Amino acid sequence: MSHAAPSPLRLSTSRPLSGTVRVPGDKSISHRSLMLSALAVGESRVEGLLEGEDVLATAQAMRAMGASIVRGEDGLWTIHGVGVGGLLQPEAALDMGNSGTSTRLLMGLVASHAVTATFVGDASLSKRPMGRVIDPLSKMGAEFIPSPGGRLPLMVRGLVPAVPIEYRLPVASAQVKSAVLLAGLNAPGITRVIEPVPTRDHSERMLRGFGAELTVEEVGGERIIAITGEAELKPQHIVVPGDPSSAGFPVVAALIVPGSEIVVENVGLNPTRAGLYEVLRAMGGDIVLENERTVGGEPVADLRVKASSLQGIEPDPSIVPSMVDEFPILFVACALAHGRSTLRGLEELRVKESDRITVMAEGLRAIGATVEEVEDGLIIDGTGGETLAGGATVATHLDHRIAMSFAVASLACRQPVTVDDRAPIATSFPIFVPMMESLGAESHGAVVA
């Protein structure tokens, strides 16, 4: 993702937020729906796909490896797959933009196919380590030529037949788990992933939905996920629920702007993803689930949110995998809460699109919050509901969640906060600014073309 010049963003509001909105489709499910549809034989259809830059990078990569992927004018995506084992040699490097999910999962797919692929990305993605995926995939026989530090640009040469393995995850990572399972799709025999700490289970749910033979059992408090290789995937019609990570931004905005009441419709609430809402409710957040239902095997509900007096919290680190991407916006909520919040066990945040611990600490201090940074998290003394000073310019470091978190924080500041560049928001939430405007926020700054 390259941009000629940064496009600053400031949000402000002079009244409570109100209205009903829908956030874009779940990013994790969108990525996986494209990949598995591309490996099925026949025509799959996907409704509600997130059309952000990260997911579009996945679509383009699957096209480059032989799948037909077309978006209809009605927003319905149609995919004709090549079958497991049928990926073709891409003619050029696969440009992943800012998408770590695309990169790590596609490395898994390529690892067990007769394909050599080069992965490239933007400046932010090129700083992110890929070693945790390279390690298990190398054990399956794939060859890697990464840049120094296990980073992009990186070349993968897949092996057919790949070697099925049993792999215990050294860190809780749905991306690593998914990469190994996707490689196992085209490996003879059974590939097993042992998960000491549960992570989001979209891959398991969707692999089963496409007809893969996959089992999950719990032994001694660990999850053992086994997939039988040389699978034959059947095409599906997928309806993507709203992304719970994206929904966190309007939800926290409504909680911290006095008098607000909003409804966020069609939010996916998979228990391995819904930790943010559990924590916000424990802080005293008035969040009511309405119209609860199941769509495509995923629990979904509408969220009715009212402005609330939040209390500081010290969540158990065991909840981290179910909300690892939502901590930046939770930090904002904690900065406006009553009392101290102690947020630990967050080492994973240091290897996201940016070092989200340091970047959030610096930005929160700049807008008047009281924050102490520790190695594995932040300790935040809240304002007790009082507005923050604001007025500062905050660096996003090409990180979409940093940009949106400070845009939301600006709504609870005496002076608007300037986000240095709104462009990264397009990776996951291209309608973020107009959606916030529809709830009553006002945006200022140059508009991204």
Contact 303, 268 (CB under 8 A): no
Contact 57, 97 (CB under 8 A): yes
Q: Any binding-site annotation on 325?
A: yes
| pLDDT tens-digit series, residues 247-264 | 999 999 999 999 999 999
Contact 172, 197 (CB under 8 A): yes
- What pLDDT sits at residue 4? 54
| pLDDT tens-digit series, residues 348-376 | 999 888 899 999 999 999 999 999 999 99
Q: Any binding-site annotation on 22?
A: no
- What pLDDT sits at residue 250? 98
Is 257 in the same domain as 379?
yes
Q: Any binding-site annotation on 147?
A: no
The CATH code of the domain that includes 229 is 3.65.10.10
| pLDDT tens-digit series, residues 283-309 | 999 999 999 998 877 899 999 999 999
Q: Any binding-site annotation on 234?
A: no
Please report which confidence band the pLDDT of residue 445 belongs to, taking 50, 70 and 90 as the band edges. Answer: confident
Q: Quick one: tokens of 304? A: 């009715």
User: Does a structural domain hold residue 141?
Assistant: yes
Is 281 in the same domain as 132?
no
Task: Report the C-alpha dihedral over residues 95, 101, 105, 106, rounded to 10 degrees.
Answer: -10
Q: Any binding-site annotation on 128?
A: yes
Res 1 pLDDT > 90? no
Is 440 in the same domain as 295?
yes
| Cα separation values, 414 from 5, 354, 439, Å | 28, 27, 19
- What pLDDT sits at residue 3? 46
Is 150 in the same domain as 57?
yes
Is 122 in the same domain as 255?
no
Question: Percentage of the chain with pLDDT > 70?
Answer: 98
Mean of the pLDDT values across residues 387-415? 97
Is 420 catalytic? The answer is no
Q: What secondary structure, in 3-state letters, does 162-194 show?
A: CCCCEEECCCCCHHHHHHHHHHHCCCCCEEEEE
- Strand-pair category, 222-228 with 143-147: unpaired
User: Does a structural domain hold residue 5?
Assistant: no
Which of 239, 271, 297 terminates a domain? The answer is: 239
User: Does a structural domain hold residue 62?
Assistant: yes
Burial classification of residue 34, based on how many CB atoms lie within 10 Å of its CB (0-12 exposed, 13-18 middle, 19 or more buried): buried
Q: Any binding-site annotation on 83?
A: no
- What pLDDT sits at residue 303? 98
Is 305 in the same domain as 184?
no
User: Does a structural domain hold residue 449?
Assistant: no
Is 80 in the same domain as 159?
yes
User: Does a structural domain hold residue 4?
Assistant: no
- What pLDDT sits at residue 353? 84
Which of 188, 206, 239 terminates a domain? The answer is: 239
Is 309 in the same domain as 224?
no
User: Does a structural domain hold residue 55?
Assistant: yes
Please report which confidence band the pLDDT of residue 88 belongs to, taking 50, 70 and 90 as the band edges. Answer: very high
Is 301 in the same domain as 287?
yes
Res 448 pLDDT > 60? no
Q: Any binding-site annotation on 95?
A: no
Q: Any binding-site annotation on 32?
A: yes
Is 133 in the same domain as 56?
yes
Is 295 in the same domain as 408?
yes
Domain count, the chain: 2
Question: Percentage of the chain with pLDDT > 90?
Answer: 92
Which of 239, 271, 298 terminates a domain? The answer is: 239
Mean of the pLDDT values across residues 236-243? 94
Which pTM value belongs to this model? 0.85
Q: Any binding-site annotation on 415?
A: no
Tell me the average pLDDT of the chain.
Answer: 95
Is 314 in the same domain as 402?
yes
User: Does a structural domain hold residue 38?
Assistant: yes
- What pLDDT sits at residue 15? 97
User: Does a structural domain hold residue 114?
Assistant: yes
> From CA 131, how far away is CA 138, in angstroms rounded?
10
Boundaries of domain holding 322:
10-25+241-444
Active-site hit among 325, 399, 420, 421: 325
Q: Any binding-site annotation on 414?
A: no
Please report which confidence band the pLDDT of residue 331 belongs to, taking 50, 70 and 90 as the band edges. Answer: very high
